[in-house]
Amino acid sequence: MQAVEIYDTTLRDGSQGEGISFSVEDKIKIALKLDRMGFHYIEGGWPGSNPKDMEFFRKIAQQPLKNSRITAFGSTRRPGGKAGEDPNLKSILAAGVQVATLVGKTWDFHVTHALNTTLEENLAMIRESVAFLRSKGLQVIYDAEHFFDGLKANPEYALATLEAAAGGGAGTLVLCDTNGGSLPEEIREAVVLAGKKFSVPLGIHCHNDGDLAVANSITAVLAGAAHVQGTVNGYGERCGNANLCSVVPNLVFKCGVETIPTENLRKLTELSRYVSEVANMHPVSSMPFVGASAFAHKGGIHVSAIVKSPHTYEHIDPELVGNRRRVLVSELSGLSNLLYKYRELNLDLELQKEENRELLERIKEMENQGYQFEGAEGSFELLLRKLKTGYREPFKLENLRVIIEMSEDKPAYTQSVIKMSVGDKVVHTAAEGNGPVNALDNALRKALDRFYPCIRNMQLSDYKVRVLDEKDGTGAQVRVLIETGDGERSWGTVGVSENIIEASWKALIDSIAYGLLKNKEGSRPGEG
């Protein structure tokens, strides 16, 4: 079985992505997760270019890693200089790693135009820099920048740079598609060509500018590369690097290549979400393998088929990568989506056939108004429960008023007054807020607190507004989605109205009502 090393550069190349900035602590936390995952190498940073990176190397050295080796990145020595005196190479030594990753120029145009030196000097820079680090006992991974573009422009010279790195003692020759514009077939031919020339193992490092980084990485492996570089979630400069969350499961489950233990892939979804959380990037829900939508079924025909057999519309079992199957309820869906949803919610709500149809009609009608129950499972379950007799609302609005005041020289001031009934008790209170919805949220919590102390644990974690049919201007329908969590679980609720305050209020009271329902059920979720 072919075996391939996985090399993660989230902490260096990944941090070049727009909007991404890791603190040293962030980097340590991510490195520990990557080690737990079993990736073979973790590129920690570029100590010569960034003082923050040096601190990372100091701190990570104190962590006992189980699986991964930390590498420090740097470029070949300066033109005309000496390897032993090069500040960049010295800082790699200072990082205290056992493995260095050195990048060098392959493309003749870059040598003469970006580096402003001669083609011969560049070859010397590569050979001497690698040899210097080898002489200090380090393993050297050589990144041939712009290899594929260089090979097109001047094949003889491109191969001569690899020869220089191999001559200097590099343990791996990594072919980089730095500008990310190569096609799979070009990658395949180049890897085969280099494989014939060199006995040193080859690696691949792809960027995603052509939307082909994953395909290019896999193609390189199938053509003989034994080392793959990429980042978690594909973060990186411009369009990002090859996404390891896609490359690794493809290699393992599709290509039969040995990488990390198959069992570890069950932590892949968690890894992806953890890194997007630390990076404070919106997770892309459609991300293959690990996205929240990756195994989410919406079309009615799809759902009725997966109920019979999941692999009718799933390429792999979601659990293999730690993800899960979801069924969405929308106007596109049929009865089978509803039935699946019951089962998933573990609802003990046996609706009669007629009730089912009624519910489906009601849902379609609400969706016509602009409701959307995807991501609003809380409102959906409440809707179901209200259809059955025996559901008691935990509180009722008597009336409310929101007042917003602004004047030329003062910022806006908002307060809300609400009157609610809980059972036979009436509570009448008021609160301020940053804005009208925040003021309502505050007043509602204040009103309900003494009846339901557990609402103190419920936190709004997300608030989204979508103006429907925006052409109607300020008179358009508005949909509000709210996400709430209580530390154990989280749930979404939805409200729609022409009035944004009313829409928000609907989503707000659903979020509290649903939280109370689940709290009452305690550890028996789903039991009515």
Site for a second copy in 256-315 (CB under 8 A): 280, 282, 284-289, 291-302, 304-305, 308-309, 311-315
Amino acid at 68: S
Q: Does 392 bind a second copy (CB under 8 A)?
A: no
Q: Does 22 bind a second copy (CB under 8 A)?
A: no
Residue whose CB is less far from a second copy, 300 or 526: 300
Q: Does 169 bind a second copy (CB under 8 A)?
A: no
Residue whose CB is less far from a second copy, 299 or 526: 299
Give the long-range contacts of residues 246-250, CB within 8 A, separation 24 or more: 246/214, 246/287, 246/288, 246/289, 247/214, 247/217, 247/218, 248/6, 249/289, 249/316, 249/320, 249/321, 250/214, 250/218
- The CA distance from 204 to 219, in Å, is 10
In whole angstroms, what separates CA 52 from the centre of its chain? 24
In three state form, how does the secondary structure of 411-434 look?
EEEEEEEEEEEECCEEEEEEEEEC
Please pick, from the candidates 52, 90, 388, 446, the single residue that binds a second copy as defined by CB under 8 A.
52
Q: Does 317 bind a second copy (CB under 8 A)?
A: no
- The CA distance from 11 to 51, in Å, is 14
Q: Does 15 bind a second copy (CB under 8 A)?
A: yes
Residue whose CB is less far from a second copy, 486 or 498: 498
For 434, residues 6+ apart whose C-beta sits below 8 A from its C-beta are 414
* Beta bridge pairs of residue 204: 175, 228
Contacts (CB under 8 A) with a second copy, residues 337-366: none
Please pick, from the candidates 466, 486, 490, 526, the single residue that binds a second copy as defined by CB under 8 A.
466
Q: Does 16 bind a second copy (CB under 8 A)?
A: yes
Shortest Å, Cβ 522 to a second copy? 25
For 277, residues 6+ apart whose C-beta sits below 8 A from its C-beta are none
Q: Does 424 bind a second copy (CB under 8 A)?
A: no
Residue 355 exposure: Cα atoms within 13 Å on the Cβ side? 12
Query: What is the 8-class DSSP label of residue 213?
Result: H
Residue whose CB is less far from a second copy, 173 or 212: 212
Residue whose CB is less far from a second copy, 196 or 471: 471
Contact 129, 77 (CB under 8 A): yes
Contacts (CB under 8 A) with a second copy, residues 476-505: 476, 478, 482, 497-502, 504-505
Q: Does 436 bind a second copy (CB under 8 A)?
A: yes
Q: Does 379 bind a second copy (CB under 8 A)?
A: no
Residue whose CB is less far from a second copy, 163 or 314: 314
Build a one-symbol-per-residue string for 179-198: x at contacts with a second copy by CB under 8 A, - elsewhere.
Answer: xxx-xxx-------------
Please pick, from the candidates 215, 252, 382, 516, the single residue that binds a second copy as defined by CB under 8 A.
215
* Beta bridge pairs of residue 480: 465, 495
Contacts (CB under 8 A) with a second copy, residues 124-153: none
* Beta bridge pairs of residue 99: 71, 139
Please pick, from the candidates 266, 460, 490, 519, the single residue that binds a second copy as defined by CB under 8 A.
460
Shortest Å, Cβ 267 to a second copy? 19
Burial class (CB in 10 A: 0-12, 13-18, 19+), 350: exposed
Q: Does 398 bind a second copy (CB under 8 A)?
A: yes
- The CA distance from 320 to 252, in Å, is 11
| Cα-based angle 212, 214, 219 (whole degrees, multiple of 5) | 90
Total binding residues toward a second copy, as defined by CB under 8 A: 136
Please pick, from the candidates 164, 194, 212, 260, the single residue that binds a second copy as defined by CB under 8 A.
212
- The CA distance from 332 to 341, in Å, is 15
- The CA distance from 101 to 80, in Å, is 21
Residue whose CB is less far from a second copy, 198 or 313: 313
Q: Applying CB under 8 A, which part among 82-90, 246-254, 343-351, 513-521 lies near a second copy?
A: 246-254
Q: Applying CB under 8 A, which part among 36-44, 86-94, 127-135, 248-256 lies near a second copy?
A: 248-256
Residue whose CB is less far from a second copy, 166 or 326: 326
Contact 196, 162 (CB under 8 A): no
Q: Does 243 bind a second copy (CB under 8 A)?
A: yes
Give the long-range contacts of residues 411-415, CB within 8 A, separation 24 or more: 414/438, 414/439, 415/439
Contacts (CB under 8 A) with a second copy, residues 65-94: 75
Please pick, from the candidates 64, 137, 256, 475, the single residue that binds a second copy as defined by CB under 8 A.
475
Q: Applying CB under 8 A, which part among 57-65, 349-357, 380-388, 404-412 lies near a second copy?
A: 404-412
